[in-house]
Amino acid sequence: MSRTTLSIIAAGLIAATTIGTVAEAATLADGARAAIEAALEDEHRAEAFYAAVMTKFGDVRPFRNIIRAEQTHASELNALLENYGLERKTTNPHLGSAEIAALVPETLAAACKIGVDAEVANRDLYDKRLMPAVQDYTDVQVVFAALRDASENKHLPAFERCGGGQGQGMGQGKGMGMGHGRNAAQP
């Protein structure tokens, strides 16, 4: 299990333990609820885009790995909603949508560049908008910090390597194929 997965699971356990006592006495303010829902929407859109990329280019890294992480992130956010007595949003409304599919570029390298931009935007979303909205909710802050850190420290570097011609193959190697696979960008 990766360090990111373990960090997210630990954050979820901390949040669940904290929320178990807090949720009974407190409810989420509208701003905090909206922040969790915005984070979940962001995770769902990312999952849908990465799925659309794999539909076009096959089961390629880093998309196949990061899509699983996005699903885990959505589960953590849904657990927060549930712990505060709110409805889980387990169905991703963006999967298979024509709107998302239309965003997939012609090359895998370009899709990786979109992944880089999306992960930077995700980090900034948490730092500038979402974290301030939940400053009174330590449990939510713990989960948000873990998700933000996964984007910045794991997903972003993977997409940067992919966009640089590495890690685009379909094998089980370490992503050092230097872009010579069938999905590599043409010079």
135 CB-near residues (< 8 Å, 6+ apart): 141
Q: What is the pLDDT of residue 28?
A: 87
pLDDT tens track, the chain, 187 positions? 555 544 554 445 444 544 444 444 368 899 999 999 999 999 999 999 999 999 999 999 899 999 999 999 999 999 999 999 898 988 999 999 999 999 999 999 999 999 999 999 999 999 999 999 999 999 999 999 999 999 999 999 999 998 664 444 443 333 434 344 444 444 3
Amino acid at 166: Q
CA dist., res. 144 & res. 149, Å (int) = 8
d(CA 175, CA 169): 7
Q: What is the value of pTM for the model shown?
A: 0.74
Task: Spell out the domains of the chain, with CATH numbers in brackets.
Answer: 3-163 (1.20.1260.10)
